Amino acid sequence: MEINQIIKYFSYKYKGNWEEITLAIKNKEPIDYVEAEKVISDDIQYITFIDKEYPLKFKDVTFSPWILYYKGDISLLNKRIISFVGSRNTSKYYLDAVDKIIKEIAKLDKDIVICSGLALGLDTASHEAAIKYGLKTIAILPVGIDECYPKSNYKLYEEICRNGLVISEYPPHTSVPKEKFSSRNRLITGISDNVAVIEVRNYSGSLASINWALNQGKDIYVVPSPLNEEDTINNQIIKDGAFLLTSGEDLIKKF
């Protein structure tokens, strides 16, 4: 068996669990070749850490995925990518901000790719705005590559599979506890050239994404909160050193 096939075998066996895959490879765990043949013979597209197509940006990410399963155009990983993060329960102010910013990006540079996590709220708005204005988009899943989470976004999932890129570090038919969904954020920020933070709330995935981005040395751009908004975490993050985000040009002027 080739090394990338061995990686795929252990990924299936341990349902994408990074620690268990790492131990299996490190300890040269015995392989069940009957089961391995079933795994190898499926038609799921994938790239592994050792393949030349594997994005260099992910090699600098904490717990770099051993394998990435994908549907769509894998070459999008080599484009200039802006990741959008924010709340699932976002307000019209921030939804309008996403639409405005991505519309402006599309006018300035059609080659930019928008990345997010397919979740409700801000993620959905980012993907939909990218599609509406003619940009490619990447969705990074917190579950198996054949799963759409949430299921209500299935049509959007199919659209991105056809015309963009959907990727996951988890093999098909893999459910992941919701408390582990935040580990997906390290990939969303890791693949990006710039990170656009649209809305931040206490105890949210947005804060986790910001921490990942800071550890990865990414530039973080934050939309200011309205003056009449009680929760002004956005404004505090800007005061702490993040870049002010009010237009699409803000995100691409350093490219």
Read off the pLDDT of residues 215-243 as tens digits, 9 standing for 90 and up.
999 999 999 998 877 767 899 999 999 99
**Residue 168: strand pairing partners:** 69
Q: What is the 8-class DSSP label of residue 242? A: P
| Separation CA 110–CA 139 (nearest Å) | 18
DSSP-assigned letters across all residues of 41-70: TS--EEEETTSTTS-HHHHTSTT--SEEEE
Residue type, 80: R
Share of the chain above pLDDT 70, in %: 98
From the list 157, 168, 103, 99, the residue with the least C-alpha distance to 135 is 103
pLDDT more than 90, % of the chain:
79
Query: How far, in Å, are 188, 197, 217 from residue 211 at the CA level?
Result: 12, 12, 10
Q: How confident is the model at residue 208 (pLDDT cuts 50, 70, 90)?
A: confident
Whether 105 has a pLDDT exceeding 80, the answer reads: yes
Has this prediction a pTM greater than 0.75? yes
Give residue-wise pLDDT tens across range 31-77: 999 999 999 888 899 999 999 889 888 988 889 999 999 999 999 99
- Report CA-CA distances (Å) from 100 to 77, 130, 133, 243: 24, 11, 10, 18
Write down the number of H helices and E strands in the chain.
11, 9
pLDDT per position as a tens digit, 153-183:
999 999 999 999 999 999 999 998 887 888 8
Report the top-level CATH class of 74-166+178-252: alpha beta
More confident residue, 73 or 203: 73
Among 162-166, 174-178, 204-208, 248-252, the least confident range = 204-208
What residue spans define the domains of the chain?
A: 3-72, 74-166+178-252
